[in-house]
Amino acid sequence: TGSCSANVGGLDITFHGDVIDSILNLFKSAISDYVKGQINGILCNEIKDLVNSQANALLKQIPTSVEITDGFNIDYSLTNNPTVSSSAAAVGMLGEVWYTGHHADPAIPAAQPMAAISNTNGKMFCAELEAESVIGSAGYAAQVSGIMHLTVNGAILSAAGLSTSYLNCSCPGTGQCIGGFIPQIANSTCTNGIVSIELVSSMAPTAHVNSTGAFLSFAGTMDFKGNNPGQSPTELFTVAVTLSAVIPADLHFSGWKISGSVHVTRAGLTVQSSAIGNVDQAGLEQLWQIVLLAVVEGELNSVTNAGIALPAIPDFTVVSPVLSFGDRSLLVCFDGKYTGPLIQQYNLKA
């Protein structure tokens, strides 16, 4: 439902000819007002017909499912009818991330109803997503896909710009290795080998979103194993891990993808079990700060930097898009230029 008002700013009518035309000229102001009123009604009817016949067809061309990466997709189905004001058009979108074979899983966090968009940031078009369910569904998809499992080895450290020697079981004279941070490792059977660390998520990450950013929570375990040359790996100890992280509100566009950064703000490390006696807690914290924090942040940022693609709008060029977080929401607003067949069909100006 909606309303239409049109206004013909000026209309000059002059009658030429005999006496009756001179008489009609006396009343041309009233006649002009009447004609303008009729034209206004015709304009609104034509505009409504154009919108009803063409806009829905245009909306149907916008893809509702976009592939993020292999096996991961995002559902951009509309959650309400588009609303149009004198200054902007706005719509709610689902933004549910799903992994192949798990599109209908009941455990996927459901989007909650959102308040009407009140601030369009001065743009012509806005799309609003319930950001907590977007992030929650992405976390669930990652969990069921099996990618929430990271083996920290020499290749991972090199990719993070760190020395592979940090994984040495012992480092006499320098102390800059895992055996130096945690002496119990150097004193164990792992003396001349290296340590491998398996990080495994135990639950799908959750999120809370407000105007300053998205605040994430993770939980899992770190399993430490000693690897001496020519021997089978030996269990050293297992640590329960809880992480808090934030995606700041300074999101940006990379093409037509939403990108951002992740910062880990807190890590809780608790030794669950140990085969090498009491694990030095201070050394464990030091290992996290010097080595593991950079690795974990790097892995998280590889995802957020890659970005999430928004649905392409046929024959539409997006101009000056802006992003903003709100209470549980992510708002995407933009101007644009339509260059489709309606331009030629109705002789419109692009």
What are the Cα distances from residue 323, in Å, to 85, 128, 213?
20, 10, 11
Cα separations (Å) of 23 from 26, 174, 186?
A: 5, 108, 112
Q: Residue 5: pLDDT above 80? A: no
- The mean-pLDDT minimum among 54-58, 90-94, 124-128, 135-139 falls in 54-58
User: What is the spatial distance between Cα 334 and Cα 5, in angstroms, rounded to a whole number?
Assistant: 25
pLDDT band at 84 (very low <50, low <70, confident <90, very high): confident
- pLDDT band at residue 27 under the 50/70/90 scheme: very low
Q: Burial code of 222-247, b = ≥16 C-beta within 10 A, e = fewer? A: bbbbbbeeeeeebebbbbebebebbb
Which strands make up the sheet holding 257-259, listed edge to edge?
252-254, 257-259, 308-309
pTM exceeds 0.75 for this model: yes
Angle at 282 between CA 276 and CA 286, to 5 degrees: 105
- Distance between CA atoms of 69 and 65, rounded to whole angstroms? 12
- Better-scored residue on pLDDT, 115 or 273: 273
**pLDDT per residue as tens digits for the range 99-127:** 999 999 999 998 888 887 878 888 888 99
* 30-68 pLDDT, tens digit each: 545 555 565 656 666 665 665 555 556 666 667 788 888
With beta carbons less than 8 A apart as the criterion, state whether 104 and 75 touch: no
Q: Using CA atoms, how far apart are residues 49 and 40, in angstroms rounded to an integer?
A: 14
CB–CB of 349/337 below 8 Å?
no
Q: When comparing pLDDT for 225 and 24, which is higher?
A: 225
Report pLDDT digits (tens) over 154-200.
999 999 999 999 999 999 888 899 999 999 999 888 888 999 999 99
Q: 249: closest CA among 301, 211, 217?
A: 211
Instruction: Supply 136's token pair.
Output: 């929650």
pLDDT at 16 over 80: no
Q: What is the mean pLDDT of the chain?
A: 83
Report pLDDT for 297. Answer: 94
Confidence of residue 19 (pLDDT cuts 50, 70, 90): very low
Average pLDDT over residues 213-227: 96
What pLDDT, on the 0 to 100 scale, is given for residue 9?
54
CA dist 106 → 72, 140, 229 (Å): 17, 11, 47
pLDDT at 138: 93
Q: Could you read off the pLDDT of 238-258 as tens digits, one per residue?
A: 999 999 999 999 898 888 889
Whether pLDDT at 220 is above 70: yes
